[in-house]
Amino acid sequence: MNRDPRRSKTEFNKLHKRLRRQVGQAIVDFDMIREGERIMVCLSGGKDSYAMLDILQSLQRSAPVNFELIAVHMDQKQPGYPPEILPAYLDKQNIEYHILEKDTYSVVKSVIPEGKTTCGLCSRLRRGTLYGFAESIGATRIALGHHRDDIVETLFLNMFFGGSLKAMPPKLLSDDGKNVVIRPMAYCKEADLERYAQAMEFPIIPCNLCGSQDNLQRQAIKKMLLDWERQYPGRTETIFKAIGNVSPSQLADRELFDFLSLNAAEPVAAADFSRINAVNL
């Protein structure tokens, strides 16, 4: 049975409005974009970064502030990488863009033993190149396509495998203080972005060209969260809200809360009670 095209269009419009609203709200809540900002939008070729660029372009046309968008993609010379896909797409978008070519694949493969996950080193090398390029083109913000589910997954990755309570902040100052990183899709659900990418027919470039994506810790965390969500719908959203509702005094970080100075009030002396009662009488 064919779906009613009018219903499909209505559902897509609702989805688009919801994503626009969520991105706009994140921008406002974390002061991500101001008048005159020059935003470097990092495109991986995956569904999330395509959606981020598309929604930011949509907001750009109606936002009360003026800002520029520059799309930047990094060709890391992975085997099977299709170099023609992103330029062909971006040529139609009426946007300034740059394709950076850097063979980080060979570097990673020479350092990481066969069979081990390369994603950590790969992302660090990619990040270093992109940060440097942002400075060279005068970008005032670097936009990354991480969404709500990425943030929650990172929280559990750090808890289970790193022994730390941290996730991905919607806005971040780089270690060298030269770049401000923003995640405009911090409020967006991955399932919504998947539906949006399918409807828009983005030309997806697979992320597993290096063959290192199997059995990742993140995949295990993702499965755990999906199982929880099936059993308790809304749990992922509740966990995400918890990230923004922290009570330092209820944790155990001595740098975050001054436990050493925490003492009960001194009891009032008996003579003082007598004086207070006498005054009251």
Domain 5-245: CATH class, spelled out? alpha beta
pTM metric for this prediction: 0.85
> Which of 141, 130, 133, 131 lies closest to 36 in space, CA to CA?
141
The pLDDT > 70 percentage for the chain reads: 83
pLDDT digits (tens, 9 = 90+) for 174-208: 888 888 999 999 999 999 999 999 999 999 987 76
How high is the mean pLDDT of the chain?
Answer: 87
Mean pLDDT of 101-108: 70
Statement: residue 223 has pLDDT above 80: yes
So what's the pLDDT on residue 113? 58
Burial 164-201 (b: 16+ CB within 10 A, else e): eeebbebbeeeeeeebbbbbbbbbbbbebbebbbeeee
pLDDT digits (tens, 9 = 90+) for 35-49: 999 999 999 899 999
So what's the pLDDT on residue 53? 97
pLDDT digits (tens, 9 = 90+) for 69-101: 999 998 877 778 888 999 999 999 989 999 988
**75 DSSP β-pair partners:** 101
Give SS3 for 97. strand
pLDDT bracket for residue 217 (50, 70, 90): confident
- Largest separation between any pair of C-alpha atoms in the chain: 91
Edge-to-edge strand ranges of the sheet holding 67-75: 96-101, 67-75, 37-43, 141-143, 180-182, 171-173
So what's the pLDDT on residue 1? 44
Rounded alpha-carbon distances, angstroms, from residue 62 to 32, 33, 66, 231: 16, 14, 9, 40
- Between 50 and 277, the more confident residue is 50
pLDDT bracket for residue 256 (50, 70, 90): very high
Rounded alpha-carbon distances, angstroms, from residue 47 to 55, 84, 192: 12, 17, 11
**181 DSSP β-pair partners:** 142, 172
Mean pLDDT of 269-276: 56
Q: Which residues does 107 contact at the CB level (< 8 Å), separation at least 6?
A: 121, 125
**171 DSSP β-pair partners:** 182
Mean pLDDT of 242-249: 95
Statement: residue 33 has pLDDT above 70: yes
pLDDT digits (tens, 9 = 90+) for 124-179: 777 778 888 998 999 999 999 999 999 999 999 999 999 999 999 999 998 888 88
